[in-house]
């Protein structure tokens, strides 16, 4: 991303919502014109005097508010955003960033695969694609550790009820008991269900082990690397170790 295309401005917190025990949804109001970005991209957010962190936009680009899903990882910006951030506060925003965005030139099927708060960019991609073509063939797989980590199931269920070719598949790795959801690993569920990836593009976001394992499964099933667009969500500690390599 060219630095000249990155915008820096201050946004006001206008909405806060608890999504799960450790994920908070926040919506920010830009000071003037909306941020121009592509569905699936992310921005750097700065809370208080803390170092900025990367978070994906969860809203389609044509909406006036910026939506983010932030998971409390126990320190820094994420902890502050989930535990302390208040409505009316100012958040520094720098973006857009990232290349794992919806490809406008592609009209074929979409396989969107999310883990945890990686649902945010997949939400933006799915909703943007459906607005452009309500009959687009889209599968959204959402992998979580336990039932309590699942969120927005009702929202995507409603989308599926009005878009006949959109399918939402939650996958719970460690269900604590009887569950209405699919169990196991999300990547395994994808390749068990979809036998033919011809003309498809896959978009992935979430914990690096999930993303890397699922990409390997997709490649083994014949999906070309050029048709796989992924953003692993590294923690601050993981980013620090990667910078030291």
194 φ, ψ (degrees, to nearest 5) = -105, 110
**Three-class SS state of 184:** coil
Contact 200, 108 (CB under 8 A): yes
Given a cut of 50, whether residue 178 has pLDDT beyond it is yes
What pLDDT, on a 0 to 100 scale, did the predictor assign at position 237?
A: 52
182-183 and 166-172 beta bridge pairing? parallel
Given a cut of 60, whether residue 240 has pLDDT beyond it is no
What pLDDT, on a 0 to 100 scale, did the predictor assign at position 149?
A: 97
Q: What is the mean pLDDT of residues 8-30?
A: 97
Given a cut of 90, whether residue 176 has pLDDT beyond it is no
Asked whether the domain spanning 110-232 has the same topology as the one spanning 3-97, the reply is: no
Q: What is the CATH number of domain 110-232?
A: 3.40.50.80
Average pLDDT along the chain: 92
Contact 186, 171 (CB under 8 A): yes
Cα separation, 129 vs 109, in Å, equals: 10
Cα separation, 233 vs 22, in Å, equals: 15
What pLDDT, on a 0 to 100 scale, did the predictor assign at position 179?
A: 83
Percent of the chain with pLDDT over 90: 86
What pLDDT, on a 0 to 100 scale, did the predictor assign at position 34?
A: 82
Cα separation, 59 vs 102, in Å, equals: 13
DSSP string, 106-167: --S-EEEEEEGGGHHHHHHHHHHHHHH-TT--EEEEEEESSGGG--SHHHHHHHHHH-TTEE
What pLDDT, on a 0 to 100 scale, did the predictor assign at position 234?
A: 54
> Regarding predicted confidence, which is higher, 33 or 234?
33
pLDDT digits (tens, 9 = 90+) for 198-218: 999 999 999 999 999 999 999
Q: Where are the domains of the chain?
A: 3-97, 110-232
How many beta carbons lie within 10 A of that of residue 220, not counting itself? Answer: 9
227 φ, ψ (degrees, to nearest 5) = -105, 15
Given a cut of 50, whether residue 106 has pLDDT beyond it is yes
pTM of the model: 0.93
Given a cut of 50, whether residue 239 has pLDDT beyond it is no
CATH superfamily of domain region 3-97? Translation factors (2.40.30.10)
| Structural tokens at position 136 | 């687009």
Contact 92, 66 (CB under 8 A): no
């Amino acid at each position: 991303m060219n630095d000249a295309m990155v915008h820096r401005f201050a946004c006001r917190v206008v909405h806060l919502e608890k999504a799960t025990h450790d994920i908070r949804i926040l919506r920010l109001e830009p000071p003037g014109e909306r941020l121009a970005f592509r569905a699936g991209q992310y921005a750097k957010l700065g809370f208080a005097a803390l170092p900025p962190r990367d978070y994906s936009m969860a809203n389609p680009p044509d909406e006036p508010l910026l939506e983010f899903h932030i998971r409390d990882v126990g320190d820094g910006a994420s902890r502050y955003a989930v535990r302390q951030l208040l409505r009316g506060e100012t958040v520094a925003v720098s973006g857009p960033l990232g290349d794992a965005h919806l490809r406008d030139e592609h009209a074929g099927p979409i396989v969107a695969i999310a883990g945890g708060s990686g649902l945010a960019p997949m939400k933006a991609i799915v909703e943007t694609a459906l607005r452009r073509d309500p009959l687009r063939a889209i599968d959204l797989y959402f992998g979580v550790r336990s039932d309590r980590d699942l969120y927005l199931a009702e929202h995507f269920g409603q989308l599926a009820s009005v878009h006949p070719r959109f399918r939402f598949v939650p996958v719970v790795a460690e269900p604590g008991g009887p569950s209405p959801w699919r169990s196991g690993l999300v990547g395994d569920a994808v390749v068990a269900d979809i036998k033919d990836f011809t003309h498809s593009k896959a978009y992935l976001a979430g914990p690096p082990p999930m993303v890397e394992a699922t990409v390997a499964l997709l490649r083994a099933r014949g999906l070309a690397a050029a048709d796989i667009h992924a953003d692993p969500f590294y923690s601050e500690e993981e980013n620090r170790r990667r910078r030291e390599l």
